[in-house]
Amino acid sequence: MRLSLLMPGALRRVIYVFVSGLCFFGAAGTVQAENIQHTGSDTRTLRVAYMEFPPVTYQNAFGEPEGEMVGTTRKVAKEAGYELEFLYLPVSRAYLYLKKGSVDFALGLTEVPALKGAVIDSEINLVSVVLSAWYREDQAPVTDINDFRDQVVILINGFTYGGLRSWLERQDDIRITNAPNHRSAIDMLNRGRGDYLLDYRDPVREELMSFSAARIQETEIRTRTGAWLFSAAIPEAQTLQAEFDAAYHRLAERGELPPADTREKSILLQGFPTP
């Protein structure tokens, strides 16, 4: 299984050398190899899944991985003695690859019910991510989770919202409509095709820069953390977790990265359902 998955990435890397600036998209996503220089001769290359979650993780105009978590991961991998091969995947495909061990780890949010038992999270929180309810100026603010009742809530395809999606879908008096991406979701809300949008602060604010006429308000729902999600299907998952956490601490001690954040994030909205 692992060999068959590696072949498309290897072929694309050969093509990329000769054709500068082109992006290649396959059924499994886009693959880019990171040329990190090391002194050791036995440096191992790790396969890393990342998703479209700007400005935290995203694919730039040249088909390359970018974002805050991507930059940090490159530094830490180099410090730990690893090279990286990035795979740009939709959320559902990234989760599948983590469960099967087709990637070594992913850059993503913690506490995903669909990945329970399938990943080992890093102890270090790489980013803090705010999940918010977005609504038009003529809509009442959200003060309690029950404010979604008798309303139409827009969700992003593939996002589990830390288990909140499944709770919303089980409620008979909450109607769910799905959007393919952040931009489409904002457009749906702006056009009145939903009462509330559940989406993360950073990507929505990025998109709102191009919505000059949008008058959208925000209420924080909860705070989540971004981390390295190591696939529990690979034998060395715990070793990788320890090595990456230790490498981060070394870089932080040298002032090359911010001090490590290991604090738990709190749920903000009253009535938020617990698993």
Question: CA-CA distance, 165 to 154, in Å (whole number)?
Answer: 10
Q: State pLDDT tens for residues 208-232.
A: 888 766 689 999 999 889 999 999 9
Average pLDDT value for the chain: 85
**pLDDT surpassing 60 at residue 31:** no
pLDDT tier, 270 (very low <50, low <70, confident <90, very high otherwise): confident
pTM of the predicted model, to two decimals?
A: 0.75
User: Given this model, what pLDDT does residue 167 score?
Assistant: 93
CB under 8 A, 24+ apart: contacts of 240-245: 240/46, 240/104, 240/105, 241/120, 241/121, 241/122, 241/123, 243/80, 244/76, 244/77, 244/80, 244/122, 244/124, 245/122, 245/123, 245/124
**What mean pLDDT do residues 9-30 have?**
38
Banded pLDDT at 39 (limits 50, 70, 90): very low
Query: Domains in the chain and their CATH numbers?
Result: 2-127+224-253 (3.40.190.10), 130-223 (3.40.190.10)
Mean pLDDT of the 45-60 span: 94
* Residue 77: per-residue pLDDT: 98
pLDDT at 22: 33
* Averaged pLDDT, 230-243: 97
Look at residue 15 in the predicted model and tell me its pLDDT.
37
- pLDDT number for residue 266: 63
Q: How far apart are CA 202 and CA 228, in angstroms?
A: 19
Q: Give the per-residue pLDDT at 181.
A: 93
Q: What is the pLDDT of residue 158?
A: 86
